Structure 1
Amino acid sequence: MTSIPSGYPDDQLEAFALLATRDKLSIDDMKILALLEAAGETFYLAAAAAVDHPEAKDLLTRNGQEERGHAHRLLKALALLGEDYTLPADADNPYVQPMDLTGIINADLLSIIQQSEADGDLQYQVWADAESNEAVAKILRQNGVEETRHGERVNQVVALL
């Protein structure tokens, strides 16, 4: 199991909340964020497995794939900052939790997820604005824009269900 650096919570929501207090991401913050983004794939794939509508499944699966993509972009950002970091396998990611969302996916939960994605975009923009390395800032901005797109897809899922 990959260890979480000292001072970071082992709970996903608490870790996101801590990162949201940061105006600028440190190297360790980016590592934690990469782990959390990778864990986001697991959530979206579990959500996709829990719905019956084929188009809803596809939209949620695409969000999951892009969450993994965000994690890999963060690895590129870390490399640009001189830090070599590799994502662990899901089994070794402390933020990846097996989950069965059958019977849990509904409009209320999806509304919360949509708002979280919108908030994620805003937070990525804050981090990008504070980043002095323009290439890293560009990566952060791209991740943020995609968070908004995830929220739009979640809204589409609500309409389909």
Structure 2
Amino acid sequence: MTTLPASAPATTGAAFAHINAVTAPTIDDLKLMVFLEASGLKGYYGLASGSENPEIRALLEANGREELAHAHRVAQVITLLTGEPFAPPADEENPYVSATAPALTAAVLEGLVRAETNGNDLYESWAQSIGNAEAAALLRQNGKEEVRHADRAAKALALMG
């Protein structure tokens, strides 16, 4: 069983606020990010279920699958840095997985565009501070995909238009 660090914020919003302020992550910050990224699969799938448009659903579901891939990459970073295995949590072990998704609205998609764009900058700052070339490459891959997530969210927004 994968456990959340004891210092982790209680709510998803507080967890994202914490993570977005970090420029040089600790192992606990990386573990927190694994939990947040892993929650993205169900989060994006929940949003996708709110659309009748199959193209919008496909875009959002692709983002969700990649969020889980991000969780696996950050878990790899933890293993590289500590020598200890760490795996993304199952949904039932993850307090940041919500049972209900917000309504799929233009405002939600606009927020995702901003958040995913910021994710690239965050991962780049982490890659620069991590002190391990292999770990930095994994973080940068996540950042590149965050840009792709923003593009997909923007495309879904246009399709809603």
TM tier relative to shorter chain? over 0.9
Q: TM-score under structure 2 normalisation?
A: 0.93
Letter in 2 for 1:16: F
> Structure 1 stretches of 5 or more lacking a match?
none
The answer for the alignment partner of 2:142 in structure 1 is 143
- Aligned counterpart, 2:79: 79
Which stretch has the larger CA shift, 134-143 or 82-91?
Answer: 82-91
Instruction: Deviation per CA, 1:35-78: give whole Å up to 9, x if none.
Output: 10000111100011111100110000000000000001111111
In structure 2, the partner of 1:52 is 52
Shift of 1:95: 1.1
**How many residue pairs get matched?**
159
The residue type paired with residue 124 of structure 2 is Q
Give the gaps of 5 or more residues in structure 2. Answer: none
Give the CA deviation at 1:4. 3.1
Q: 1:114 corresponds to which residue? A: 113
Task: For 2:51, give the aligned amino acid.
Answer: V
Tell me the amino acid that sits aligned with residue 57 of structure 1.
Answer: R
* Letter aligned with residue 90 of structure 1: D
Aligned equivalents of 2:107, 2:21: Cα separation in 1: 26
Q: Is the 8 A contact 1:46 1:100 kept in 2?
A: yes
Counterparts of 2:76 and 2:28, CA distance in 1: 14
CA contact (8 A) 1:4 1:10 kept: no
Contact 2:35 2:88 in 1 (8 A): yes
Q: After superposing the two structures, state which structure 1 stretch, 57-66 or 11-20, moved more.
A: 11-20
One-letter amino acid matched to 1:117: E
What corresponds to 1:27 in structure 2?
27
Root-mean-square deviation (Å): 1.4
Instruction: Give deviations 1:86-114, integer Å, cap 9, x for gaps.
Output: 2221011111111144xx21212210111
Identical pairs, percent: 38
2:18 match: 18
**Cα distance in structure 2, aligned partners of 1:136 and 1:25:** 12
TM-score (norm 1): 0.93
Q: Following TM superposition, by how much is the alpha carbon of 1:5 offset from its aligned partner in structure 2, in angstroms?
A: 1.9
Contact 1:128 1:141 in 2 (8 A): yes
Aligned 8 A contact 1:2 1:94 in 2: no
Contact 1:27 1:83 in 2 (8 A): no
Contact 2:75 2:87 in 1 (8 A): yes
